[in-house]
Amino acid sequence: MSIFRRGRGGPGRVSVQEAAARTGHGNAVENGGDAVLLDVRELDEWQAGHAPSAVHLPLSTLACGAGLPAEAQARPLVVICRSGNRSRQAAELLVARGAQAVDVIGGMRDWAGAGLPVVDAHGGNGTVA
């Protein structure tokens, strides 16, 4: 069964390990990744540290009706924030708009805690703000 199949309670939720596998990060790179990692944190958080090749779209912008960036359109989405609260809201919005989306339990805090890559706005070692 696909992790993108919507259940009765709304969009699905995945662990950081499943998110990494679905988006081609960390040790999962050899498996490839068909989904886009969509980071919905605010700009200052994004600049401090995000997953390489993630796509940035703040929840505040998404909630105002903004569309997805071109690189995230018509692709499965794995939505991440700092802890999992905003990503859950964003995934619900996206699913309501017809997108295939799941959110990441524990967000970037658990992503970094699992040893998955985090880069800053300049490509150096990032931190989760």
pTM over 0.75: yes
**Is there a domain that residue 1 lies in?**
no
Tally the domains of the chain. Answer: 1
* Domain CATH for 53: 3.40.250.10
| Predicted pLDDT of residue 32 | 59
Q: Decide if 75 is inside a domain.
A: yes
- pLDDT digits over 25-83, tens only? 865 444 457 899 999 999 999 999 999 999 999 999 999 999 999 999 999 999 999 99
> How far is Cα 102 from Cα 7, in angstroms, rounded to an integer?
11
Residue 111 structure tokens: 């992503």
The range of the structural domain enclosing residue 38 comes to 12-113
Catalytic residue at 81? yes
SS (HEC) of the chain: CCCCCCECCECEEECHHHHHHHHCCHHHHHHCCCCEEEECCCHHHHHHCECCCCEECCHHHHHCCCCCCHHHCCCCEEEECCCCHHHHHHHHHHHHCCCCEEEECCHHHHHHHCCCCCECCCCCECCCC
Contacts of 6 (CB under 8 A, 6+ apart): 12, 95
- 69 is a domain residue: yes
Among 36, 81, 94, 112, the one annotated catalytic = 81
| 129 in any annotated domain | no
Residue 6 lies in a domain: no
pLDDT of the residue at 47: 97
